[in-house]
Amino acid sequence: MSPLYRRLLLWFCMANVITLLVSVAVTQDIARRTYGGELDWPALAQAADDAYVRGGPAGLTDWTEATRHSERFQVMLFEDGHDVLGRPTGPLLARHLPQLLSGDSIVLRPVPEVLLVGQKVVGGDGTPRQMLAVRGPRPQHAKLELLLGVQIALSLIAIGGVGWLVARSIARPVAALQQAAQRMAAGDLSSRVGGPYPLARDELGLLAREFDHMAGRIEALVAHERGVLQDVSHELRSPLARLQLILELARQESAEGAAAHFQRAEHEIARLDVLIGELLALSRMEADLPGMAREPVDLAALAGDCVAEAELEAGAHGVRLRLDTGTALDTSGNTQLLARALDNLLSNSIKFSAGGEVLVRLARNGDRAELSVRDHGPGVPEADLPKLFRPFFRGGNAARADGHGLGLAIVERIVRAHGGHTAAANAEGGGLRVTLSLPLVAGMPGAGPAKA
């Protein structure tokens, strides 16, 4: 059962319980006020006798009239078997009169809707008398309709109040989501739901958290794309400016002198072609990697193949390659993409080693495999390490080798798509160590599930 469904069910049950309790309480109060409880007949008889002793027949008449209107029954006072006011008795009372006058306290119900009471009383003058009370049928239908109306009204009030609370608890986070979405649609990429709503544990809280996460990702991606576009514009402007200058110089030279300028132009065009190819590769990765086909990849075998292919380039630069792998470690991913990432690292290390050694090492760290490439070049200034995987970033040692600053950015993107992360640090004794940390395949001893 989902949290939101559970909350709605709880509120619905609570509304019904509150409605029931309020209706019962108010109905009992109305019934008690309307019908009253069982009267204190001795006290009532004493009050009637006191009214007669103090005011005579006129005082008793006033008291009986007041009692008849407030209590809805008729009271008569008998002395020596006769009504002191001389009023005639009805047929029903006359039929039961001897029995009512025969005892100290007699209560009869000759028919279900009529109550006859006979109560003996001794007044302040010492004379014994008998109070007779007749309570007839009550106006049941009018009172039941009133109670039914009250119960319906109370039910509507209780259900409406609880429903308003439930609707408010749902509508407020939905409205916050709508406002955040409208702000994002208007161009405010920093818009977030915020407030207490992402902290809730139901579906609306989850939706608010996912929206904020999505908004953060979109803002970061847009900022990244804007930065890349600016860097691309800068990188393309320089070779195009050089090409324009070369062509201008070629126009001013003779046919023999222009050949050197055309050769330089071909070199710049080749650099542009490489740059555009790397840009297209990075763009395809941004679009295609999340849905790539996955398979178990033996990292030890992959490292061995990549080192073997890089031997020719390393030999041309006078660099020795050394491979250090232990037991086979498998990750889940795409073999070609991971090979490209390792090839980029090897190529980058060979450029900066200048006759030194490049060590490729594979080791296990908990539930992750760590594949590192360490060179013995000049290293990277500490201030440049956090920026090393940004597109087009070239550190202080960039003058030592050709490139556009996209190789490590491609490596970082491939590793991130495989659920891993990259790290770069200057190694002891000189040189740079770049480490790729990748999750092991689920099912390997000590490995958790692979994360995509």
Q: Which amino acid is located at 324 in the chain?
A: D
Q: By the 8 A CB rule, do 391 and 405 touch?
A: yes
Here the tokens at position 284 are 């395809």
Residue 86 pLDDT > 70: yes
Mean pLDDT value across the chain = 78
Same domain for 299 and 376:
yes
Sign for the CA dihedral angle at 411, 416, 418, 423 comes to positive
Q: Find tokens 């409605």 and name the residue.
A: 19
pLDDT bin (cut points 50, 70, 90) of residue 71 is low
Burial track 16-42 (b if 16+ CB lie within 10 A, e otherwise): eebbeeebeeebeeeeeeeeeeeeebe
Find, among 160, 195, 189, the residue nearest to 175 by Cα.
Answer: 195
Vertex 334: Cα angle to 328 and 336 (nearest 5): 95
Gap between the Cα atoms of 286 and 289, Å rounded? 6
φ and ψ of 425, to 5 deg: -155, 150
Sign for the CA dihedral angle at 91, 94, 96, 100 comes to positive
Residue 113's domain comprises 38-138
Q: Which of 291, 326, 358 is the last residue of a domain?
A: 291
**For the domain that residue 365 is a member of, what is the CATH number?**
3.30.565.10
Same domain for 230 and 285:
yes
Q: Over the stretch 20-36, which tens digit does the pLDDT of each residue have?
A: 777 777 666 666 655 55
Q: Over the stretch 35-70, which tens digit does the pLDDT of each residue have?
A: 555 678 888 889 989 988 888 889 888 888 887 655
Q: Which of 87, 115, 138 is the last residue of a domain?
A: 138
Instruction: Tell me if 20 is assigned to some domain.
Output: no
Q: Which of 98, 117, 138 is the last residue of a domain?
A: 138
Same domain for 391 and 427:
yes
Same domain for 337 and 269:
no
pLDDT, residue 248, reads 80
pTM equals: 0.46
Same domain for 107 and 89:
yes
**Mean pLDDT along residues 237-263:** 74
Highest average pLDDT, of 109-123, 290-304, 394-408, comes from 109-123
Q: Residues with Cβ < 8 Å from 141, sequence gap 6 or more?
A: none
Instruction: Tell me if 185 is assigned to some domain.
Output: no
Give Cα separations from 302 to 308, 321, 334, 352, 357 (angstroms): 10, 15, 11, 23, 20
The residues facing 125 across adjacent strands are none
